[in-house]
Amino acid sequence: MSELLTVVVAVVGLGVAAQVIADRLRLPSVPLLVLVGLLLGPEGVGLVQPATFGDALSVIVGISVAIIVFEGAFNLKSKTFKRAPSATITLITVGVLISFLGTAVAVRFFLNATWGVSLLVGALLVATGPTVITPILSVVRVRPRVAATLEVESIINDVTAAILAVATFEALTAENPTLANVTMAFGHRLLVGALVGVVVAGFLWYLFEAVEHSPWNAPQNARLLVLASAVVAHGTAELVAGEAGIAAAATAGVVLGNANLAYEADIASFKDDVTVLLLSFVFIILTTLVEFDELLVLGMGGVLVVAVVLLVVRPLSVFVSTWGSTFDIPDRLFMSFVAPRGIVPASVATLFALELREFDPTGASILVGTVFLVIITSVVVEGGLARSLADLFEVTPPRVLIVGGGAVGRAMARQYDAGGERIELVDRDPSAVEAGRNAGFTVHRGDATDPVVLRAAGAADADRAVVATGDDRTNVHITRLLRKRFDVDPVFVRADDPDAVEMVKELGGRPLAGSVLHLWAIEGITPRETTARPGWLTALLREGDIRQFVVDTSMAGLTVGAVAADLPERAFLVTLTRGDETSVPDADERLEHGDRITFVGAKPAVREALERLTDPRNR
């Protein structure tokens, strides 16, 4: 027991450490996890042995993979499907067939394996799962259509690979296998998985909609129910038809992810944490099963198989599938050379090898050795070079550096992010840093007047910058650094003082009044090279004013209509900001302490409105 406890502690501790280090270095975590697994396994210090978890390993891996696949599918929103080009359908059908047959031919020719083993390897290596694609795309931001295609493909291909491999294995072990039998086995498992996933998701949706939850623990209950649904869907489908569990987990995840569940943000955050932990654990455990002897016995044939799979078969499937599509050559090249294999082929190959060794030990060695050799090579090489490949093929979206993580800076970040651009925020205020990170942005804590801080935030690679701190002198200094030292252009700068405006212009920056930035933020306008100030906005800022007021405790509970009715003529309440969400409020909506209400109108009227709100005696 103490030995097993030591293994779990070491795997979890080093796995999480690898995730944290990778995040700090802004590298995909999977290569580091592979290295940790090799270090802990028999080929390293020998802490983890194949018999460490015994017969329970398949169950542990199966449930973990199901939760990981469920999490990826849960995040696969309908808008992602819509954003993915139509060529994605061809990639998960024609592309899969090319990968399946091309890999099988390479294994048969270079390793002299039987057709059964060759087809089994080909089926497993169809997978480009979310366990490796998602961590890469989380740190290597690429064009939305490329990212959407890789995400959709990875979820579906995991399911396809698992079921196709089972059908192929059944044919391999049957006395008189036929194509019809293989097709029936594949379709049966896919259908069972889809039906179980829909039923489980439907039942959970009913619980959310029809059953009243505990008022004090509702978010926690929601998180636990969703996590349980992944396990229940997987386990039920596995009992009905072996290896249908991944299809069930994926189906349930997609359905629930698009069902607008209550507490969805809490659920997503919780699942992300669980998935990171499971991903670290499973990837390390499976990597410890690798024996160098099984890799070395493949010899030059194994090296040639890897080269053909990664450099010929995958590019061929991508280019054939995207022929005549809107993808350009750089998009296709990136998708061709960033397609690492993940947990599903590793776990299924390990389980099949145990059975295959009883009647075909040579085939079992070829199966495990080839699958793990492709996985390790693709994960380490393609995962490690993903950022360089994205830069080489120029598939990265424009990078926007925003200095100032307050409400306006975060609002600007949301607008740029919605346009598919990569955002880097910088602020020295801990509360602003925390708010930005909670909103899902990469935020660097530090003083942006320090060139070291700007460089760490990516100023050298920024395509544009917005400097929106509340101090004009600070903004001018930061502008000087961005323009002169890092050659960023354009740089949009908040500047209200006339002297600051002139200095920004001399430096080559684009000065914007604080009121302009604020109004653009709430109107969803983002500063770009071609952005022209709308005529109505010019008139408003020339003749009128825009101001924001923070609701105090004495105003909390009042309706928007009551506040608006007490405003002077030519002053209008236009927006309500609560947290990071800005909206045009209904008249009967009640204000809460800390809300920010925005007024526009003639300058004297806006000034009078603020005076009335500031002094309770005037209300």
399-533, CATH topology level: Rossmann fold (3.40.50)
Query: What is the Rg, in whole angstroms, of the alpha carbon atoms belonging to the chain?
Result: 28
**How do strand 399-403 and strand 422-427 relate by DSSP bridges?**
parallel
Q: Give CA–CA dist 541/154, Å, rounded.
A: 50
Helix, strand or coil for residue 410? helix
- From the list 17, 124, 327, 349, the residue with the least C-alpha distance to 318 is 327
Q: Give CA–CA dist 356/366, Å, rounded.
A: 11
Are 467 and 404 a contacting pair, CB within 8 Å? yes
Are 281 and 68 a contacting pair, CB within 8 Å? no
- From the list 95, 231, 67, the residue with the least C-alpha distance to 152 is 95
Q: Which residue intervals of 439-558 are DSSP H helices?
A: 451-456, 472-480, 498-506, 514-523, 535-543
The sign one gets for the Cα dihedral 397, 401, 405, 409 is negative
- From the list 330, 516, 418, 493, the residue with the least C-alpha distance to 144 is 418
Are 196 and 244 a contacting pair, CB within 8 Å? yes
User: Listing from the earlier edge strand, what are the strands of the sheet with 581-583?
Assistant: 544-550, 596-602, 571-578, 581-583
Q: Give CA–CA dist 454/443, Å, rounded.
A: 12
Sole residue written with tokens 């990981």? 68
Sole residue written with tokens 């910088």? 426
- pLDDT, position 317: 95
Helix, strand or coil for residue 167? helix
Amino acid at 67: I
What is the maximum span of the chain, computed from C-alpha positions, in angstroms?
92
Residue extents of the structural domains in the chain? 2-393, 399-533, 538-618
Helix, strand or coil for residue 353? helix
- pLDDT, position 542: 57
Helix, strand or coil for residue 444? strand
pTM for this predicted structure: 0.66
- From the list 445, 587, 468, the residue with the least C-alpha distance to 521 is 468
- Conformation bin of residue 112: beta by default, left when phi > 0, alpha when psi is -120 to 50: left
First to last CA, the chain: 71
Q: Give CA–CA dist 207/202, Å, rounded.
A: 9
- pLDDT, position 518: 63
Helix, strand or coil for residue 506? helix
- From the list 512, 518, 522, the residue with the least C-alpha distance to 576 is 522
Q: Read out DSSP for 275-325?
A: HHHHHHHHHHHHHHT--HHHHHTTHHHHHHHHHHIIIIIHHHHHHHHTTTS
At 215, list the tokens.
């008022």
- List the helix and strand counts (H, then E) for the chain: 30, 10
User: How many residues are recorded in the chain?
Assistant: 619
* Strands (DSSP E) found in 539-580: 544-550, 571-578
Q: How many CB atoms lie within 10 A of CB 367?
A: 27
- pLDDT, position 532: 42
Q: Give CA–CA dist 234/469, Å, rounded.
A: 50
Q: Give CA–CA dist 410/522, Å, rounded.
A: 11
- Conformation bin of residue 11: beta by default, left when phi > 0, alpha when psi is -120 to 50: alpha
- pLDDT, position 304: 95
- pLDDT, position 118: 93
For the domain bounded by 538-618, which CATH number is listed? Answer: 3.30.70.1450
Q: Give CA–CA dist 518/468, Å, rounded.
A: 10
- pLDDT, position 84: 65
Are 411 and 521 a contacting pair, CB within 8 Å? yes
User: Listing from the earlier edge strand, what are the strands of the sheet with 442-445?
Assistant: 442-445, 422-427, 399-403, 464-467, 491-494, 510-512
User: Please, what are the averages of pLDDT over each run of 10 residues along the chain (619 residues)?
Assistant: 80 86 72 82 80 77 82 75 75 93 95 91 87 78 83 84 80 70 79 91 84 70 86 90 82 86 77 79 78 80 94 95 88 92 79 77 87 87 86 83 85 77 87 83 89 88 87 91 90 86 89 69 56 49 71 83 84 79 80 84 82 65
Burial class (CB in 10 A: 0-12, 13-18, 19+), 610: middle
For the domain bounded by 2-393, which CATH number is listed? Answer: 1.20.1530.20
Are 287 and 38 a contacting pair, CB within 8 Å? yes
